[in-house]
């Protein structure tokens, strides 16, 4: 009689446990034996430096994954917004995974190399100064917290212990060097590590294109808004830049060379950010500096910003002849 089982607690428990284990074995243990859960590991993927791992520890400590995911879904809109969708071979060093479950803020899987260190530092210290409508807390206290090389080393060695010797290649002096670093430095280093295994590709497009919205009042007004939301953080409210750090958009120099450039060049640079510098054959650090706005801004918004910058340049010339 099947009904007997409800009178026999030991038998009942054994059967219940087996029933529970069925799905457990099939969907949790069995996948661990399979290749498609881990590989192939991407060739460009490298382990953390002690500074980057210290940054990841801080990311965990502050609960950043409560508001930010680290996995780009294979949807057209996601790829446009963040970059190439996430691959299973990117996460060999993620213990635990930090994929997250909620995007109060944007995904960070492709954050590395998108923005300069300086932007991150200013943003962590006071997010609303750069993104006025953001609801992110301020993490200014990280600037004053020094890293402890001893702790960082213990964490690094513990994580390294489950990898092949040499994969985590830090030497004693690398830990000693952490002495002068702050927690802010570490967190920024980790931000720049994210997504490094997949090269960012961007096409600058037709450099000789002319601005279809050139001189249109509507476009200039739209350009003011787009500029304020996206560009003013670094290039200043008027486009004056920051001497020694961010180029001015108003002088007659463009990326270290005198003379004006075409609308198409502007468009390519805004679309691809610093990655475009190499393609344009101009100086400048292709790793840092300018953000690539191609995925984030519609074409018309980019052309509008160019219209606005052109108007600003004329305005400046008139004001300071």
Interactions with another protein, residue window 250-279 (CB under 8 A): none
311 binds another protein (CB under 8 A): no
**Of residues 25-64, which lie at the interface with another protein (CB under 8 A)?**
26-28, 31-32, 34, 36-38, 57, 60-64
Report how far residue 304's alpha carbon sits from residue 321's, in angstroms, rounded to the nearest whole number: 25
Tokens 């260190």 appear where?
117
320 binds another protein (CB under 8 A): no
Which residue number, 5 or 242, has a Cβ lying nearer to another protein?
A: 5
- Residues facing residue 246 across a β-bridge: 242
140 binds another protein (CB under 8 A): yes
Say what angle helices 299-319 and 217-230 make with each other, to 10 degrees.
Answer: 100
Q: Which stretch binds another protein (CB under 8 A): 13-21, 187-195, 212-220, 260-268?
A: 13-21
Closest alpha carbon to 290 in 261, 247, 256: 247
Closest approach, Cβ 64 to another protein, in A, equals 6
Return the residue of 46, 47, 83, 88 that touches another protein, per CB under 8 A. 88
92 binds another protein (CB under 8 A): yes
Coil, strand or helix: which one is 257? strand
* Chain-centre distance for alpha carbon 172: 29
209 binds another protein (CB under 8 A): no
**Of residues 225-244, which lie at the interface with another protein (CB under 8 A)?**
229-230
20 binds another protein (CB under 8 A): yes
- Residues facing residue 253 across a β-bridge: 258
Q: Which stretch binds another protein (CB under 8 A): 1-9, 110-118, 201-209, 238-246?
A: 1-9
Closest approach, Cβ 197 to another protein, in A, equals 12
Which residue number, 2 or 318, has a Cβ lying nearer to another protein?
A: 2
Report how far residue 178's alpha carbon sits from residue 162's, in angstroms, rounded to the nearest whole number: 23
Instruction: Kindly determine how many residues on this chain lie close enough to bind another protein according to the rule CB under 8 A.
Output: 89
What Å distances lie between residue 143 and 84, 180, 288, 312, CA to CA? Answer: 32, 12, 21, 36
Which residue number, 24 or 256, has a Cβ lying nearer to another protein?
A: 24
Residue 279 exposed, middle or buried by CB count within 10 Å (0-12, 13-18, 19+): middle
Q: How many residues belong to the chain?
A: 321
């Amino acid at each position: 009689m099947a009904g007997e089982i409800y009178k026999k607690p030991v038998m009942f428990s054994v059967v219940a446990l087996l029933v529970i284990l069925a799905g457990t074995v099939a969907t949790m243990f069995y996948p661990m034996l399979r290749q498609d859960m881990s590989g192939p590991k991407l060739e460009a993927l490298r382990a953390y430096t002690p500074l980057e791992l210290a940054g990841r520890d801080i990311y965990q400590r502050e609960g950043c994954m409560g508001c930010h995911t680290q996995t780009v879904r294979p949807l057209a809109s996601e790829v446009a917004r963040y970059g190439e969708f996430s691959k299973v071979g990117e996460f060999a060093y993620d213990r635990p995974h930090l994929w997250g479950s909620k995007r109060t803020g944007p995904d960070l899987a492709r954050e590395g190399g998108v923005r300069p260190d300086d932007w991150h530092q200013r943003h962590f210290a006071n997010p609303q100064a750069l993104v006025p409508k953001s609801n992110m807390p301020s993490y200014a206290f990280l600037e004053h917290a020094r890293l402890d090389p001893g702790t960082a080393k213990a964490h690094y060695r513990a994580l390294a212990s489950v990898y092949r010797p040499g994969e985590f290649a830090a030497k004693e002096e690398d830990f000693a060097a952490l002495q002068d670093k702050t927690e802010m430095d570490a967190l920024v280093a980790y931000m720049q590590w994210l997504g490094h295994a997949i090269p960012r590709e961007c096409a600058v497009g037709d450099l000789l294109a002319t601005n279809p919205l050139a001189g249109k009042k509507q476009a200039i007004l739209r350009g003011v808004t787009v500029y304020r939301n996206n560009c003013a953080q670094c290039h200043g409210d008027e486009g004056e830049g920051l001497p020694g750090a961010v180029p001015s958009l108003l002088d007659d120099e463009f990326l270290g060379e005198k003379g004006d450039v075409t609308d198409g060049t502007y468009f390519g640079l805004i679309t691809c950010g610093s990655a475009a510098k190499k393609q344009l054959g101009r100086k400048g650090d292709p790793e840092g500096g300018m953000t690539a706005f191609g995925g984030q801004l519609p074409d018309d918004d980019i052309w509008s910003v160019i219209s606005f910058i052109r108007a600003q340049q004329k305005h400046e010339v008139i004001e300071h002849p």
